[in-house]
Amino acid sequence: MAVTKIHKTSKMVLYITIGITLIVLALFFLGGNVSAEKQLPQLVGLQEPRNTDILIYWTYALVAVTIVLLLLFSISGFFSSLKTNRKGAMGSLLVIIAMAALFGITYTLGSGTPLNIVGYTGPDNVPGTLKMTDMWIFSIYVMLTLVILSILFAPLLSKSKKK
């Protein structure tokens, strides 16, 4: 009974998220462009979709919810497995520590040199934000590489354990 309720709830959340995403994408692609008189003088002649802000904010919301849920589930999973399986709990704690180390290392590798962006005078072209952006990009590269390596080598490791 509980599994069915969880399944129905997660399916409903997925459908709602996909629906909102499709609406936001339709607004972005079919909403037209900003008129030339509202654009910065340096950008006149370039096309800028009218609803770019909505798409960016929706992406921020999805990333924020994903990160918060990931942290909540990993912490709750750690404490629930700590009661029953201490060795497994320490393994999950090591994964969390490894992720924190990955983020720390990739943050230090990031460049904080301000970019020369034509027409941009906003507050985000500062070393902290630039290093944070590089941290996420480098972390994605590392995790993507680990996923590809695990796809390639997991069958080999599982066959060697069976023998």
Neighbours of 106 (CB within 10 A): 20
CB 137 within 8 A of CB 107: no
Using CA atoms, how far apart are residues 145 and 154, in angstroms rounded to an integer?
14
Note the pLDDT tens digit of each residue in 24-45: 999 999 987 777 666 666 666 6
Note the pLDDT tens digit of each residue in 64-117: 999 899 888 888 888 888 888 888 888 878 888 898 999 999 999 999 999 888
CA dihedral 14, 16, 22, 23 (to 10 degrees): -160
pTM of the model: 0.64
Cα-flanking dihedrals φ and ψ of residue 107, to 5°? -65, -40
Looking at the chain, how many residues does it have? 163
Q: What are residue 33's DSSP bridge partners?
A: 49
Note the pLDDT tens digit of each residue in 108-145: 999 999 988 887 888 888 999 999 999 999 999 999 99
Would you tell me the crossing angle of helices 52-84 and 2-30 to the nearest 10 degrees?
160
CB 149 within 8 A of CB 133: no
Mean pLDDT of the residues in the chain: 86
pLDDT for 42? 65
Using CA atoms, how far apart are residues 131 and 137, in angstroms rounded to an integer?
10
Please name the residue that has the structure tokens 């990993």: 74
